[in-house]
Amino acid sequence: MVASRRKMESEEARKVCFSKRRADLFKMASELSVHFNADVAAVVFSPAGNRAYSIGDPSVMDRFLSSLPAPAPPAETEPEPEVDWSVMEELSRQCGQLQAMVDAHKARLEKAEEKLRESGAAAWMMDLEAEVGRMAPEDVLALVTKLAVLRDGVAERAHEMLREALLAVAAPTPTIPTTPPPAGF
C-alpha cells in the first residue's frame, strides 16, 4: 500500500519533518556506503532553499560535477549607445504637448458630463442603460444593428450637407453686368 503524498500545510510541521527525513536519508546513504563499499553522496536543499546539506565523499561530487558540461562563458556586452540629447529633448517636448492635449480632453469631458448632469440627460441615459440591460441578447443585437444603420445615415447626411455648403461657398456668384450689352446682341 502506497501512502498518498500531499503538501504539508503547516510551515513548522514541514520544517520538523524535513529535519527528520534528512537525517534518515543521510543514515541510509552512510549504510549503503559501508555495506556495499560504494561511493555515495547526497545533497538536500532546505524547504526555504537557502541552505544545502550534503553527505558523502568529496571525490563523488567532483566526479559528478566534472561530467556536467562547462558553463558557457558570459556573453560580451555591447557598449551602451550614445544618447542623443537633442532627440531626448524633442521627445520630452512632444510628451509635454501630448500631456497637455490629454488634460484638455479630460477638462472638456468633465464639462460635457457636467452639462449632461445639469440637463437631466444623464438620468435618461441611465434609464436607457437599465432598459437595455433587461433586453434579451437577440433584441440587443437588433438594436445595435439599427443604431449602426442610423449612425451611418446621419454621417452620410452630414457629409452631404457639408459638401453642399462647400460647393455653395466655392461656386462663383453670378454678377449682373452694369453696362448694357453691345448693339445688335
Name the residue ranges covered by the structural domains of the chain: 11-67, 135-171
pTM above the 0.75 mark?
no
Output the CATH code of domain 11-67.
Answer: 3.40.1810.10
- Cα distance between residue 12 and residue 10, in whole Å: 5
Q: What pLDDT is recorded for position 63?
A: 79
CA distance 171 to 176: 16
Query: Which cell numbers hold the place of 57?
Result: 565523499
Three-state DSSP class for residue 47 = coil
pLDDT number for residue 122: 64
Determine the pLDDT at residue 172. Answer: 59
Q: Residue 18 and residue 44: Cα distance in Å, rounded?
A: 10
Q: Any idea what DSSP says for residue 37?
A: T
Q: In the chain, helix, strand, coil percent, each to 5?
A: 65, 5, 30
For the ranges 7-16, 35-44, 162-171, the lowest mean pLDDT is seen at 162-171
Backbone angles phi, psi at 55, to 5 degrees: -145, 150
For range 96-107, the mean pLDDT: 90
* Residues near 41 by beta carbon (within 8 Å), at least 6 away in sequence: 29, 54, 55, 56, 57, 60, 61, 64
pLDDT at 3 over 70: no
Helix (H) or strand (E) holding 140: helix 137-170
Name the more confident of 38 and 172.
38
More confident: 108 or 66: 108
Q: Is the pLDDT of residue 40 over 80?
A: yes
In angstroms, the Cα distances linking 84 to 91, 98, 180 are 11, 21, 73
Residue range 112-139: mean pLDDT, rounded: 78
Share of the chain above pLDDT 90, in %: 5
Q: What number is the average pLDDT over the span 156-171?
A: 81
Residue 41: how many other CB atoms lie within 10 Å:
17
Instruction: Measure the CA dihedral 62/64/68/70, to 10°.
Output: 0
Determine the pLDDT at residue 182.
64
**56, β-bridge pairs:** 41
Q: What is the pLDDT of residue 149?
A: 92
